[in-house]
Amino acid sequence: MRKPGELRAFDPALYAGGRRQAEHAAHRAGAWLRAAVFGDERARNWCRENGMQRALTGIGPGQSAIVPDELVGPIIRLRESYGVVRRLCRRHPMASGTATIPHDTGDTPAWFVGREAPPSPSDPTLDAITLTALNLAAETRISNDYAQDVTLVDLAEYVVEQMAQAFARKEDECLIDGDGTSTYGGIVGLRSAILGKAGGVSAASGHSTLGDIDTTDLRALMGRLPDYPGMTPVWLCSKKARELVFGRLMDAAGGNTAATLAEADSLEYAGFEIVTTPAMPASFSDLSDEAMLIFGDLRLGAIFGDRQTLTLRVDPYSLSSYQQTKVICSERFDLNVSPGVGSATEAGPIVALIGTA
């Protein structure tokens, strides 16, 4: 087995056997890709001899493939690493294309009662959250020459990274920027849903860009968040916002020395983790009436309905004249952020700082 350079998709830290096991998993995934996707007879024989015969069934024009664990695992792990949805949101497995989840909108009170006296009854206040699985697909085209020339490990790394990045990016965009249009599968994300709600905190007058935000704005945002039991809120922003807002304010606080400036940037502000995603605003432009930063516990306020983890299809025919093969991956999911943004009168477990002209 030819040894590759640094492994990215098949991170040795995630395997009990370290780098050797990671390379072995990548080699098996690459062999399956070369056999199933490109019809390489040597690779097919290797798969049969190494316990991957079942993963070769169903391979034909337009058919789905049984994706081996060696390929599925890294894609799933990288989706969580590249994106925030699967790390931060509450995951709800869906047994069918639709799911209805009861959502408690009120508290059940406790009463002091006398001897042998019953407490006053209080019925829970519930509404229903409906999830409808949406089909998200990503297609990558691989040169047949490339697939034959690179190592099996490099081939597996390429496919895994392409698919994981595509899915993670779109999931984050739906969670953050979804506006209900077909671009986002009809999903309404946090930045749209929070507008007009009590959880939308207006920044000080004239604070319409990331560079305008000050500590007073951030404290006002933190103060708007309700005190829910067990809440673990995080800051949600872009990497550029982390530097322009949190990095700038921490530098301005003073007390820095040569040693502290040489250290890695802090990933926390006011004791709360800063989580970054490219889906959040990252420009210097005017953000009046738009959500610039998000603060809250997405586990309590954003539901990720997981219907189908991963399906892979191969098409070696439609681009055969170009000597290319299509690899198409799909997943089915839905997102609902309505429990997190609260109402017009009460903030929920997710709040946002709104730019003010």
pLDDT at 144: 83
pLDDT of 56 higher than 60: no
pLDDT of 87 higher than 70: yes
Cα angle, residue 346 at apex, residues 215 and 128 outer, rounded to 5°: 130
Instruction: Spell out the domain ranges in the chain.
Output: 67-104+128-253+266-357
pLDDT tens for each residue of 293-318: 999 999 999 999 999 877 777 777 88
Q: State residue 356 phi and psi, 5-degree precision.
A: -125, 130
pLDDT tens for each residue of 57-77: 444 544 445 566 777 778 777
Q: What is the 3-state secondary structure (H, E, C) of the chain?
A: CCCCCCCCCCCHHHCCCHHHHHHHHHHHHHHHHHHHCCCCHHHHHHHHHCCCCHHHCCCCCCCEECCCHHHHHHHHHHHHHHCCHHHHCEEEECCCCEEEEEEECCCCCCCCCCCCCCCCCCCCCEEEEEEECEEEEEEEEEEHHHHHHCCHHHHHHHHHHHHHHHHHHHHHHHHHHCECCHHHCCCECHHHHCCCCCCEEECCCCCCCHHHCCHHHHHHHHHHCCCCCCCCCEEEECHHHHHHHHHHHHHHCCCCCHHHHHCCCCCEECCEEEEECCCCCCCCCCCECCEEEEEECHHHHCEEEEEEEEEEEEECCCCHHHCEEEEEEEEEEEEECHHHHCCCCCCCCEEEEEECC
pLDDT tens for each residue of 173-188: 999 999 999 999 999 9
Q: Which of the four pLDDT bands, split at 50, 70 and 90, describes residue 94?
A: very high
Distance, in Å, from the CA atom of 350 to the CA atom of 200, rounded to the nearest integer, reads 9
Bridge partners of residue 129, in order along the sequence: 101
* CATH 1.20.1090.10 is right for the domain spanning 67-104+128-253+266-357: no
The pLDDT mean for the chain works out to 86
pLDDT of 90 higher than 90: yes
> Between the ranges 52-56, 240-244, 322-326, where is the mean pLDDT highest?
240-244
pLDDT at 79: 82
Distance, in Å, from the CA atom of 199 to the CA atom of 215, rounded to the nearest integer, reads 18
Cα angle, residue 55 at apex, residues 49 and 59 outer, rounded to 5°: 115
Distance, in Å, from the CA atom of 7 to the CA atom of 19, rounded to the nearest integer, reads 8
Q: CB–CB of 153/27 below 8 Å?
A: yes
pLDDT tens for each residue of 241-276: 999 999 999 888 776 666 666 565 568 999 999 999
Distance, in Å, from the CA atom of 303 to the CA atom of 295, rounded to the nearest integer, reads 16
Distance, in Å, from the CA atom of 353 to the CA atom of 130, rounded to the nearest integer, reads 28
Q: Which of the four pLDDT bands, split at 50, 70 and 90, describes residue 26?
A: confident
